Amino acid sequence: MMQLTHSAISRLRSQHESIPFILNGMHENVLRYRPDPKRWSILEHVAHLARYQELMPERIRKLLLEENPHFERYEAGKDPRFSYWCKMEWWALWSGLVAGRQELTKLLTDLRPADIDRTAVHPLYGAIPIPFWVEFFLIHEAHHLYAILQLVGEIRALQR
């Protein structure tokens, strides 16, 4: 039987908290700035994380109710809820991300041991259990945290 690792639970509870540290009080207009018009702004990355996180409890609940459901890849450009998150002011976006993380963490840490091995089908990885979905979620988030860190560096370089 699989289980959520201590590392996964720890990152689930705290990984997102690096965002305010990385941003270090940047103003909202800077968070919305795109140094490259083809790439997302800092705020759009955070909005994506908030929206993607909003999908996770829905997917976990579906996974608990159905036998081996299929989940399509998430595409922000095709999701009207992504643009909803992008329109939020920074403080509301951050508050929503934090509240959503608390909900997701509680859902996952309250799972019964009998449910932890339940699987859902990903188009690339096939049938994967909940702990793998959690790792996938966390690594995806870390990728965007790194992109945010890079954008902060680019913006600061432009301000010099």
- Write out pLDDT tens, residues 56-102: 999 999 999 999 999 999 999 999 999 999 999 999 999 999 999 99
Domains of the chain in sequence order: 6-159 (1.20.120.450)
Structural contact between residues 132 and 145, judged by C-beta atoms closer than 8 angstroms: no
Of the chain, the end-to-end C-alpha distance in Å amounts to 54
Question: How many Cα atoms sit within 13 Å of 123 on the Cβ side?
Answer: 4
Instruction: State the pTM of this model.
Output: 0.95
pLDDT band at 103 (very low <50, low <70, confident <90, very high): very high
On the 0-12 / 13-18 / 19+ scale of CB atoms within 10 A, 132 is: middle
Per the prediction, the chain carries an average pLDDT of 95
pLDDT band at 159 (very low <50, low <70, confident <90, very high): confident
Q: What is the pLDDT of residue 1?
A: 63
Q: pLDDT per residue over 140-150, tens digit each?
A: 999 999 999 99
Tell me which amino acid residue 60 is. I
For the beta carbon of residue 117, count every other beta carbon within 10 angstroms.
Answer: 12
Let me know the angle formed at the C-alpha of 141 by 139 and 142, rounded to the nearest 5 degrees.
Answer: 65
If we measure between CA atoms, which residue out of 154, 137, 144, 160 comes closest to residue 4? 137
